[in-house]
Amino acid sequence: MTSRISLPSWRPGATRDRLLEFLDAVRSVPETDRVAYFDNDGTLWCERPRYVQLEFFLEALRRRVGTDPSVGERPEFAAALSGDPDRVGEVGLERIALALAGLFEGVTPEEFAADARAFMATATHSTLGRPMRTLVYQPMLELIAELRRLSFTVGIVTGGGTEFVRAVSEDLYGVPAELVVGTLIAYDFGRDGSGRPGLRRTGRILGAANEGPAKVANIQTQLGRRPIMAAGNSGGDREMLEWATATDRPHLALLVDHDDAEREYSYAGHAETLTEAEPITRTASRLGWSVVSIANDWGTVFPR
């Protein structure tokens, strides 16, 4: 049965074997319960040296500063534009992210989605020199394809902004917008001069950032189906991965370990808005999760 499974970018070894075992075992699970959720940043696409969504907002900020230089004097914006990690750390990434989101206050959902797609269509990665849209992980695309072949529902549960990921998820991963859960921006309902109703973005976050326990709670409130497989790369994914394995059915928790400085980056994944009790790789080892070594388990990192 497992011979039919195609994961050409996954090198032979313990991690691939465990994937094959899971993909074979889930045939015993009713199709309605075959659900898998993937984190996005660092799990499905490259998140270094800066998050893709942060690059999108920084481009918007530079355009705004080009027409009104005084905008760049705001502490959050000045830190973001400096590119200095120490200055960013002093202000706080969460505070900076909220300020950047405010650049699109008053914009309709459709306008924001169009801007996000336009960015992804033209942006180039600052150090890898590849189009941003090609920085998805080929092995993960293959895994998603196999899950779909087995009638899995595949969703994305990200700490990033929901609307940005929804704008590009269908094109990049084949995941429809309604299966994306992320950090939510609040909308205001109103009418234009002719009385036509519509929505406009605000600068407010709805609830908490979608990391840690919030991921599990938001899966339930927004999707209503718990996973038997989950994949992540940081402490912000811990509770989601734990939840996926808290079942007597076949299950799988995948943790992506970024240990390949030659083909991508080498760093320890960490949560942006949470304090972690221990490194996530140590948690994975203790709880028996599958740790994906980019250096050792992936023959190909990005699509060719």
Domain containing 227 — which CATH number? 3.40.50.1000
- Assigned domain for 108 exists: no
pLDDT digit string, tens, across residues 172-199 = 999 999 999 999 999 999 999 999 999 9
- Assigned domain for 198 exists: yes
Domain count, the chain: 1
- Assigned domain for 89 exists: no
- Assigned domain for 123 exists: no
- Omega into 139 within 30° of 0, i.e. cis? no
- Assigned domain for 304 exists: no
- Assigned domain for 122 exists: no
Residue 120: predicted pLDDT: 98
- Assigned domain for 79 exists: no
pLDDT digit string, tens, across residues 94-117 = 899 899 999 999 999 999 999 999
Alpha-carbon distance of 275 to 245, in angstroms, equals 22
Domain range for 289: 2-48+135-297
Look at the alpha carbons of 154, 51, 263, 237 in this order and tell me if their dihedral is positive or negative. negative
Walking along the chain (304 residues) 10 residues at a time, the average pLDDT comes out as 76 97 97 98 97 96 96 96 91 91 96 98 96 98 98 98 98 98 97 95 94 98 98 98 98 98 95 87 97 98 96
- Assigned domain for 94 exists: no
Q: How large is the angle between the packed helices 52-67 and 109-122, nearest 10 degrees?
A: 100
Residue 2: predicted pLDDT: 45
109 CB contacts (<8 Å, ≥6 apart)?
A: 163, 187, 199, 201
Alpha-carbon distance of 110 to 259, in angstroms, equals 38
